[in-house]
Structure 1
Amino acid sequence: MSDLTLERTFAANPETVFSYVTEEENLLKWWGPEGMTVPEYVLDLTQPGPWSSVMVNAEGERYKVTGEVVAVDPPHSVELTWAWHDENDARGHESRIRFEVTPNGSGGTQFRLIHAGLSDDEAAASHTEGWTSALRKLEHIAN
């Protein structure tokens, strides 16, 4: 199993950043790597329950991922499970994500994304690349 942790500092206050990482209308502004669209989704991470999204790249390839929101502590953290589906819609290996939001002492926010339990180092590297790209989009709206 492999884990990854990514951290960012945002100018926006913690409550605003928490809304960016939990509320569907805000998640859609940054969810998925750059160049991807999200035509199908259930992305309310404000309360426990199922979530899903289908990301589509420029070539039309579809990538489905689903999970459960398992814990929400506004405006501090949200935890969810994460698993990709294959071409037959079978759900694969499940990992776990935690978004942590804390004040940074200057009116802004320290944000931490922890993606734990990835199947191997290759999956961790691929997810690091994807999350880094998505977080660039989040940086544009939270700074």
Structure 2
Amino acid sequence: MSDLTLERNFPQPPEKVFAFVTRTEHLLSWWGPEGMGLRAHALDFTRPGAWSSTLVNAEGGLHKMSGEVIEVDPPRAVEFTWGWHDDKDVRGHESRVRFEIEPDAKGGSIFRLIHSGLVDEESAANHNRGWTSTLRKLEQLAGA
């Protein structure tokens, strides 16, 4: 199994960053890598429960993932399970994603994304590319 950790700094306080990464109206603005759009979603990380999203790429290819929000600790953390679906909508290997937010010394926040339990290094590298692209969209939204 492989893990991935990405860290970003934001000028906003933890409460505001937590809202950006958990509330549906904000998630819709940054969820998914650059160049992909949301085809369908049930995105709400403010409470425990099921979530899902289907991304569509420029060629019309669909990429569905789903899971369960298992921890919500405002404004410090949210954690959820993650699994990709195949072309027959069968959910595959389950991993975990955790967003951690802590205050920094300047009144802003340190945001940490930890994706754990990935199948192997290749999967970690693919998720690193996807999350890095996705976080660029979050940085633009949050004014980082």
TM-score, scaled relative to structure 1: 0.99
Size of the alignment, in residue pairs? 143
> What amino acid does structure 2 have at the position aligned with 1:117?
G
RMSD between aligned residues: 0.5
> What amino acid does structure 1 have at the position aligned with 2:110?
Q
Is residue 2:69 matched to residue 1:69?
yes
> What amino acid does structure 2 have at the position aligned with 1:142?
A
| Counterpart-to-counterpart distance in 2, 1:142 and 1:104 | 16
Give 1:127's aligned residue: 127
Give 1:33's aligned residue: 33
| Counterpart-to-counterpart distance in 1, 2:39 and 2:14 | 28
* Deviation >6 Å, runs of 4+: none
Give 1:13's aligned residue: 13
Q: Which runs of 5+ in 2 are unaligned?
A: none
Q: Which runs of 5+ in 1 are unaligned?
A: none
| Counterpart-to-counterpart distance in 2, 1:43 and 1:105 | 31
Q: State the SS of the aligned residue for 2:92.
A: coil
Is residue 2:88 matched to residue 1:115?
no
| Counterpart-to-counterpart distance in 2, 1:98 and 1:60 | 29
TM-score, scaled relative to structure 2: 0.98
| Counterpart-to-counterpart distance in 2, 1:39 and 1:88 | 17
- State, as a whole percentage, how many aligned pairs show the same letter: 62
Give 1:88's aligned residue: 88
| Counterpart-to-counterpart distance in 2, 1:139 and 1:109 | 12
> What amino acid does structure 1 have at the position aligned with 2:81?
T
C-alpha deviation, 1:22, in angstroms: 0.3
Give 2:140's aligned residue: 140
